[in-house]
A = this chain, B = another copy of it.
Amino acid sequence: MSEKSIGICLLGCGVVGSGVVKILTEQADMLRRRADLRFDVRHIVVRNIAKHAAGLPGLPFTTDAEVAIDDPRTQIVIELIGGNSAAATLTQRALRLGKPVVTANKSLLAACGNELFALARKHETCIAFEASCGGGIPIIDAICRGLVANRIDAIVGIVNGTCNTILTRMTRNGWSYAQALAEAQRLGFAEADPSLDVSGRDAAQKLAVLASLAFNVQLAEKDISVEGIEKLQPADIQFAKELGYVIKLLAIAERDEQDRLTLRVHPTLVHQDDVLAEVSGGFNAISIYGHALGHVLFYGRGAGQMPTASAVVADLVNVAIGTTPLAFRHLRIFPDTAALADVLPIEKSRSRYFLRVTAKDEPGVMAQVSHALGQQGISLSAILQRETGESQLVPVVITTHLAEDGAVRRALREIDSLPTIVPPTVCLRVVDQPKEFGGNGK
């Protein structure tokens, strides 16, 4: 069988783009051997040719995206520009020409994935987006095809490497958020403007993509309740540790028996025995619970040049051999073919909670706090109060049993209005994943 040549147009040549070029160049033999494919990079669209041409000499750089996309020798377009504006316009242009688009852009998919999927379908082509979530972990393909026999009940994941790196440093080194962020920025693990990551928005965009596929629904970033890591204090990480927990930024999507979804991203206390507690630094891990499969977890590098490029090139191969277009055509799991999600308001979501109350050292405080919780039907699981020495202010840590978010918020308003309490009371969620020991294994 003689190899097939596939003409590629690369939009953007930053960190990931140059990783893609590196794999296509250095592993050309391997790709030829494995897939009988030769990828020919026809155009690399950048803003400033001079900036790139020095580092990657001899490559077909251009500034004219439209000509590059329209070129009949361009058979697949790789969109690595990021953002929603030019990326959307150029993706649409390629799709209208019936050319498949490979993208790592979760922001684009979260913002207008449904429209783009529908456009691809109209023009009998496809969008491949394995690199949009979980970096090099083949999680999109697993949800779409590997787990297709499962009614999925929940997704629980660490999907933002920047936040995880910051939290890992705070936990291991006892650093403040500001210290850990500065270090992450110095080492290149956080952007100069880290807000998209640390606010939890990046994680929410990824959750939107994953949940829409897992539950076969249309949903938007705004359906997701989001809380970032910016306000986390070392004291809470320390208290969590004393209680046997590690704090992670989790993205969670759960389906209840009425097919209503709870969608949220927030710092979360994860038990130290939970496998997610072990996921450190830039790694991602995504747990999925399927009705037949039970718990399955995918772990790997969630970002970075080569891991992300690994997913982009996998998409290229799968588009080129035709499996991705076929799956896109035949599987009705993409949101453009699905109904709107029935999203439960966050107030109705249930979780365990970690509360850190700052109380004045006076008699009767605990009774008042317990009363406020009890009024809302919230029962306590553990209390941690240390001897205070000289201080007039006593931190009291409380964990609760399962409670409704709305009830907890009402209790907190009550607690924070008590004259014996210094507001604001810190409120974090505790998520216990199902126990796994005992083995179902043969």
Which listed residue (B136, B187, B299) contacts A299, Cβ 8 A? B299
Q: Does A361 contact B (CB under 8 A)?
A: no
Most buried by B among A148, A184, A191, A322: A148
A165: min CB distance to chain B, Å: 4
Q: Taking CB as reference atom, which chain B residue is nearest A15?
A: B442
For the side of the interface on A, what is the size category?
35 or more
Contact with B along A174-207 (1 / 0, CB 8 A): 0000000000100111110000010000000000
Q: Are A36 and B330 in contact (CB under 8 A)?
A: yes
Most buried by B among A149, A297, A326, A438: A149
Q: Are A441 and B147 in contact (CB under 8 A)?
A: no
A300: min CB distance to chain B, Å: 4
Complex copy number for this chain: 2
Contacts of A310 in B (CB 8 A): 147, 149-150, 290, 292-293
Q: Taking CB as reference atom, which chain B residue is nearest A294?
A: B301
Q: Are A148 and B292 in contact (CB under 8 A)?
A: no
23 A-B residue pairs with CB within 8 Å: A23-B292, A27-B149, A35-B330, A35-B331, A136-B290, A146-B311, A149-B310, A149-B313, A150-B310, A161-B440, A164-B439, A189-B442, A190-B442, A197-B442, A281-B437, A281-B439, A294-B300, A294-B307, A297-B298, A297-B299, A298-B298, A321-B326, A321-B327
Chain A residues with CB under 8 Å of chain B are: 19, 23, 27, 30-31, 33-36, 130, 135-138, 141-142, 145-151, 161-162, 164-165, 168, 184, 187-191, 197, 216, 273, 275, 278, 280-284, 290-304, 306-307, 309-311, 313-314, 316-318, 321-323, 326-327, 330-333, 436-442
